[in-house]
């Protein structure tokens, strides 16, 4: 007989950072799904779990939530799994060649949530949720009633990261992408690279607090399992299932922010009017429409938002949203087989793009450009793209970054965009871009 979670509202607000610090001090496997930076205030979940087998997670059915879920007070996540799938997991399943990973971090990791705090930022309410079958179920342990807020320590002196590709080499790879596009091998290619920071293990919470302070994002996350952690300031939703509807919100198109309001508005207007950016975004919209049609009811696919500018602290992004009604009987594995890796991180046509990028990039992406979030036992899920993110492990850390290449791409502009995307995560690590970038 399955155990239903119990939610108990706390009498006073506690800070999510301190809640995570308390969990992390007692458990090897913990998570913080950080929704504070969403426009509506959002929900965050901070808790602990036990490692789960990926095949169990992907076998979960998705679709219409049960009636009891509608009465649940503690946000959309009411039990299930929290974790990630790395890029190569999806690429290999889709039939693309992949590079062996260095195994500095697992390519997929999922925790079955056992206890967590649910934070309603808009209403300043906190719930303690217990999914364990124990005599103390639903009783908040005194040791898990934190006070105050954790603040990251200052970084003494930044160190330079090491790039997988130098800026000049990356520019050459862009030209090779354009050559493939000219020959008709692809319409668009999402070329990526990696920046590595070597050194002793870092404190994931301290790094994440610096990351979220400098780059607040609607899909922030810190997932730690043993000595490996994924820290994300992702602005991009990959897949969201609520009821029978599934939606995806690909990002293609980036401009920096400016402290000058007039210049900032001009940059946003330039982004939405740029033919190259619009063409790049539209290609991915068409790709995601096709992907979702494989698991959705005929005629149900809709483009809910096209070429919308979403603004974050460091960048403006060009975002579109595609949705559809799921067919009955769809499981997580079916949805991932149809959509993962996301088209915004591959290009189009997807299999051809992944095959070309395998040759050009010359090394594994790892967790970067995969997806992270939660998968619910009630049929819901919410997954974000793993971009603007950091992976920490015993040997150091790495940051992935990239961008979509079309025939209209200008190498110098694309190199600058990669640098812009990598700068925030590297700064959170106390590192700077390598010379030339």
Cα 217 to Cα 97, 229, 379, 400, 424, distances in angstroms: 32, 18, 25, 17, 12
CB 117 within 8 A of CB 379: no
Residues 230, 283, 172: CA angle, nearest 5 degrees: 70
Please enumerate in sequence order all residues whose Cβ is within 8 A of that of 338, keeping only pairs 6 or more positions apart, or say none: 291, 292, 294, 295
Residue in this structure with the two tokens 């969403």, named with its chain if needed: 38
Q: Compute φ and ψ for 305, nearest 5 degrees.
A: -150, 130
> Any idea what DSSP says for residue 143?
G
> Any idea what DSSP says for residue 331?
B
User: Six-digit token pair at 199?
Assistant: 């050194």
Cα 383 to Cα 166, 242, 266, distances in angstroms: 32, 12, 32
Dihedral of CA 409/413/414/415: which sign? positive
Q: In the chain, what is the greatest distance between 2 CA atoms, to the nearest angstrom?
A: 66
Candidate list 236, 280, 361, 417, residue with the active-site label = 236
CA nearest to 72, candidates 80, 83, 84:
80
Please enumerate in sequence order all residues whose Cβ is within 8 A of that of 69, keeping only pairs 6 or more positions apart, or say none: 78, 378, 380
Candidate list 244, 252, 277, 421, residue with the active-site label = 252
3-state secondary structure of 184: coil
Over 364-429, what HEC string results?
A: CCCCCCCEEEEEECCCCEEEEECCCEEEEECCEEEEEEEEEECCCCCHHHHHHHHHHHHHHHHHHC
CA nearest to 304, candidates 283, 326, 287, 289:
289
Query: Would you call 270 a catalytic residue per the annotation?
Result: no
Q: How do strand 302-311 and strand 125-130 relate by DSSP bridges?
A: unpaired
The C-alpha atoms of residue 417 and residue 401 are separated, in whole angstroms, by 9
Angle between helices 167-182 and 350-361 (to 10 degrees): 150
Query: Would you call 236 a catalytic residue per the annotation?
Result: yes
Question: Hey, which residues are catalytic here?
Answer: 236, 252
């Amino acid at each position: 007989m399955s155990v239903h979670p119990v939610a108990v509202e706390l009498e006073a607000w506690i800070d999510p950072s301190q809640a995570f610090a308390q969990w992390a001090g007692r458990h090897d496997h913990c998570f913080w799904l950080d929704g504070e930076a969403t426009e509506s205030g959002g929900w965050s979940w901070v808790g602990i779990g036990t490692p789960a087998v990926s095949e169990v997670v992907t076998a979960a059915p998705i679709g219409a939530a049960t009636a009891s879920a509608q009465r649940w007070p503690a946000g959309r996540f009411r039990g299930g799994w929290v974790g990630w799938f790395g890029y190569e997991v999806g690429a290999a399943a889709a039939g693309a060649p992949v590079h062996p990973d260095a195994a500095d971090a697992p390519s997929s990791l999922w925790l079955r949530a056992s206890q967590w705090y649910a934070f309603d930022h808009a209403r300043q309410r906190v719930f303690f949720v217990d999914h364990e079958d124990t005599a103390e179920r639903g009783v908040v342990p005194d040791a898990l009633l934190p006070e105050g807020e954790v603040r990251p320590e200052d970084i003494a002196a930044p160190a330079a990261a090491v790039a997988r590709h130098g800026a000049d080499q990356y520019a050459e790879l862009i030209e090779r992408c354009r050559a493939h596009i000219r020959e008709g091998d692809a319409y668009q290619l999402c070329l990526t690279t990696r920046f590595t920071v070597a050194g002793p293990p870092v404190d994931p919470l301290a790094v994440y607090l610096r990351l979220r302070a400098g780059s607040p994002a609607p899909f922030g996350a810190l997932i730690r399992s043993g000595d490996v952690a994924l820290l994300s300031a992702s602005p991009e939703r990959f897949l969201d299932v609520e009821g029978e509807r599934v939606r995806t919100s690909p990002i293609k198109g980036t401009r920096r922010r400016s402290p000058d309001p007039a210049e900032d508005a001009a940059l946003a207007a330039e982004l939405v009017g740029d033919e190259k950016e619009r063409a790049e975004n539209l290609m991915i919209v068409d790709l995601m429409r096709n992907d979702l049609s494989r698991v959705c009811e005929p005629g149900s696919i809709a483009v809910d938002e096209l070429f919308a500018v979403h603004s974050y602290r460091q960048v403006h992004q060009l975002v579109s949203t595609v949705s559809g009604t799921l067919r009955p009987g769809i499981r997580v594995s079916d949805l991932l087989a149809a959509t993962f890796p996301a088209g915004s991180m591959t290009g189009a046509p997807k299999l051809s793009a992944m095959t070309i990028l395998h040759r050009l990039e010359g090394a594994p992406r790892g967790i970067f450009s995969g997806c992270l979030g939660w998968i619910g036992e009630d049929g819901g899920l919410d997954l974000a793209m793993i971009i603007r993110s950091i992976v920490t492990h015993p040997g150091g850390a790495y940051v992935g970054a990239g961008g979509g290449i079309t025939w209209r791409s200008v190498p110098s502009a694309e190199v600058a965009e990669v640098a812009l995307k990598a700068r925030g995560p590297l700064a959170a690590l106390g590192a700077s871009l390598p010379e030339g970038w």
